[in-house]
Amino acid sequence: MKTIDIEKRSIGVNFQEDGKAVVRVWAPSADKLDLLIVQTGEVVSLNKREFGYWQVTTDRLNAGDKYCFLIDGKIKRPDPASLSQPDGVHESSQAVSLKEFNWTDTGWTNPPLGDYIFYELHTGVFSPEGTFSGIEEKLDYLLELGITAIEIMPVAQFPGNRNWGYDGVFPFAVQNSYGGPNGLRHLINACHNKGVAVVLDVVYNHMGPEGNYFDSFGPYFTDKYNTPWGSAINVDDAWCDGVREYFIENALMWFRDFHVDALRLDAVHAIKDLSATHILREIKENVDALMKQSSRKHHLIVELDLNDHRFIDPVKNCGYGMDAQWIDEFHHALRVAAGGDTNGYYSDFDGINHLAKAYRDAYVFDGMYSPHRKKIFGSKTGNPGWQFIVFSQNHDQVGNRMLGERSSQLFSFETQKLLAGAIIVSPFLPMFFMGEEWSEPNPFLYFVSHTDPELAEAVRKGRKEEFSDFHSAGEVPDPMAEGTFLKSKLQWGLLDKPDHERMFKYYQALISLRKNNQVLKKCNRDNLEVVADPENQLLLLERWEGEHRLFCALNFSKQRRTAVIPPSEKDWNKLISSSDKQWGGFEDSPEITIGNANLEVSPESVVIYFNNHV
């Protein structure tokens, strides 16, 4: 493992105790590198060091000053490790002191990952303000709902003011229109003081197209591999050491200097690395060193489309050491079971049977043939349940639809409750997508605000071509239009409407069960039995911890179905039923039932019973 200073950031502009700025830049392509201080016009030359680095210590640059770099005396560029881009991606960087913030979260302890109940949100559309302070104003609401961790979509500086965040081109800089670095730190500090963990979505597999000036400094990219977004990040080709350090430093900064609790690493299957030590493992080793030094706990979560448990296996077992992963296959099987799409990658899933397999095995394709991929895919995993995150909606699965429809527009009110229940009873970590808890009808559309006219038009064209077979569904929303962004805003006023309020209270009840029930709060994959009845579209799930037993019936059909309650010497007591009238259903399930009795399960519903079985 390459030695990296875990105690402080060592690239970009950083300030010493004496106030002097240490400027260190990786620019192996440069023959000469100068620091230009914008306000004064002063030029400070950097000294060339080994391995492509340039460095200088100066008292000319102060926190708050704007600056840029002159490459070979003629090319002016922002700092690739900039902490702030107050005027956007094409303009000068702003020097920021990472020490100048009054943290008050010393009493905060990051909970074990198994206690996380995730709530994914997008800063721009979550609140009317579209800022970090707007999120902060809703923290009491999230606590009332029962959320223990918010997952914030990427905040790295992107062009304009509207973007999902995956077009960021300054991984160290916090989006100016959201509130910049101090706004994010203020939000995290407030979250911790209210007992909420913060997960930050970061992108280490590609850079956005506009404002991407990395090639001016050095070989941050390689033609050795291709990704869906172009050339791959260079983590195993010539000159890769500087690139690897760049991203390791980024992960350490979020944990150390911003007090982030967990990182969600976007699409790590697109990080191409044949090095002896995979970049993810090297990040993990450095984060472990940081945790040992700071006594703070941090988690690394990955989005992974490989069904390869090596990514989440411990380093000691020759894995990459990631703590958990998103598991899309549970989502796909669940949606097909509920009567959703069966085209594209959904064509691999048969609904009830594969949902039962997802409950049992986490990976549906674990060495089976995948017709969609046209190959045998995946590996079996014995990893614990808390290493898998499941959901019925997320930004990708909603926003990558042409019209960005949420479940509220695709499924009945009853089925929406069924989907939520299916997530809660799993032995995995539950995640919810902003607004689903009140059945938000507004779409979550794809939106950008590129300032390059040619790029903007290319995005429009690409989006239309992507959905060329769906013209009957209407026009593809213009991703550049402000109206597309505004249509994606949450409608908080709906919480006052009866059905939306009822859905919120239902989610609140489900989350409370998840947090407090002796069985549900354990992510135990071993103590689980599941039976699929595809003919009747019925799935029966039983879980237990010691003498505590839980039974759940999920009816995905539109007819009443009969389920046999498992044998028990004690009565089964109802915990919740989505068909009960208090949740807007049509009939109440019995409060108590006995073992081996027939239970009538309402259409499109979930019912959960519990007992202390002896």
**What's the CATH number where 18 sits?**
2.60.40.10
Q: Is 269 annotated as a binding residue?
A: yes
What is d(CA 566, CA 360) in angstroms, rounded to the nearest whole number?
Answer: 18
CB atoms near residue 455 (< 10 Å): 17
Enter the DSSP assignment of 160: S
pTM, entire model: 0.97
For the chain, what is the domain count?
3
| pLDDT value at residue 306 | 94
∠310-316-317 over CA atoms, to 5°? 40
Gap between the Cα atoms of 287 and 261, Å rounded: 12
Pairwise CA distance, residues 226 & 212, whole Å: 17
Q: What angle do CA 151, 154, 160 make, to 5 degrees?
A: 140
Does residue 276 fall inside a structural domain?
yes
The type of residue at 509 is: A
Q: Report yes or no on 125 lying in a domain.
A: no
Euclidean distance between CA atoms 183 and 196, whole angstroms: 17
Q: How far apart are CA 438 and CA 504, in angstroms?
A: 5
Bridge partners, residue 577, by sequence: 607
- Sheet containing 548-555: which strands, arranged edge to edge? 528-533, 538-545, 548-555, 605-612, 572-577, 592-593
Annotated binding residue 199: no
Distance of alpha carbon 502 from alpha carbon 585, whole angstroms: 10
SS3 call for 564: strand
Q: At what angle do helices 498-516 and 413-424 cross, to 10 degrees?
A: 10
Residue 584's CATH number: 2.60.40.1180
- Among the candidates 34, 59, 94, a domain finishes at 94
CB atoms within 10 A of CB 277: 14
Q: Does the annotation flag 268 for ligand binding? A: yes
Among 319, 339, 371, which residue terminates a domain?
319
CA angle 44, 49, 53 (to 5 degrees): 80
Neighbours of 494 (CB within 10 A): 18
For residue 562, list its beta bridge partners.
Answer: 600
Annotated binding-site residue? 395: yes
Ligand-binding site membership of 548 (annotated):
no
- In 3D space, the residue among 125, 117, 265, 290 whose CA is nearest the CA of residue 196 turns out to be 117
DSSP-derived secondary structure for 133-157 = HHHHTTHHHHHHHT--EEEEPP-EE
Alpha carbon distance, N-terminus to C-terminus of the chain: 52
Task: Tell me whether residue 298 is annotated as binding.
Answer: no
Which tokens hold the place of 95? 């020097």
Mean pLDDT by 10 residues, the chain (614 residues): 82 96 97 97 97 97 98 96 98 96 96 98 98 98 98 98 97 98 98 98 96 96 90 95 98 98 97 97 98 97 96 97 97 96 92 97 97 96 98 96 96 98 98 98 97 92 80 80 98 98 98 97 97 98 96 98 94 97 96 94 98 71
Domain holding 585, by residue range, is 528-612
Please check if 265 is assigned to a binding site.
Answer: yes
Distances (CA, A) of 490 to 144, 438, 477, 493: 18, 10, 18, 9
- C-alpha to C-alpha distance for 340 and 409, rounded to whole angstroms: 11
Contacts (Cβ under 8 Å, ≥6 apart) of 31: 72
Q: Tokens standing for 33?
A: 């590198």
Q: How far apart are CA 244 and CA 52, in angstroms?
A: 13
Helices assigned H by DSSP within 386-530:
395-399, 407-410, 413-424, 453-466, 482-487, 498-516
Strands (E), 196-254: 197-202, 221-227, 230-233
CB count in 10 Å sphere of residue 19: 10
Task: Confirm or deny that 308 is annotated as ligand binding.
Answer: no
- Does residue 310 fall inside a structural domain? yes
Catalogue the E-assigned strands of 476-579: 528-533, 538-545, 548-555, 561-564, 572-577
Task: Specify whether the backbone of 146 is left (phi greater than 0), alpha (psi in -120 to 50) or beta.
Answer: left
Residue 532 known to bind ligand: no
237 is a domain residue: yes
Return the structure tokens found at 353: 């049977």
Residue 428 contacts by C-beta under 8 Å, 6 or more apart in sequence? 327, 330, 362, 385, 386, 388, 389, 390, 523
CA distances from 302 to 58, 214, 320, 329, 427 (A): 39, 25, 11, 14, 18
223 is in an annotated binding site: no
The residue type found at 256 is: R
Token output for 603: 């259409």
With respect to residue 568, please indicate whether it lies within any of the assigned structural domains: yes
Name the phi and psi angles at 462, rounded to 5.
-65, -40
The identity of residue 141, as a single letter, is: Y
Cα–Cα distance between 199 and 104 in angstroms, integer?
19
Q: Is 20 exposed, middle or buried (0-12, 13-18, 19+ CB in 10 A)?
A: middle
Structural domain ending residue among the three candidates 66, 94, 122:
94
Identify whether 127 is part of a domain: no
What does the alpha-carbon distance between residue 17 and residue 280 come to, in Å, rounded to a whole number?
A: 32
Q: Looking at the domain assignment, is residue 163 inside a domain?
A: no
- H-helix segments, 362-394: none
By three-state DSSP, how is residue 572 classified? strand
What is residue 610's three-state secondary structure? strand
Q: Does residue 361 have a known ligand-binding role?
A: no
> How many whole angstroms separate alpha carbon 484 and alpha carbon 164?
12
Q: Domain for residue 567, yes or no?
A: yes
Is the alpha carbon torsion for 602, 597, 534, 532 positive or negative?
positive
Q: Is 399 annotated as a binding residue?
A: yes
> Which amino acids are annotated catalytic?
266, 303
CB-based contact 128:134 (threshold 8 Å):
yes
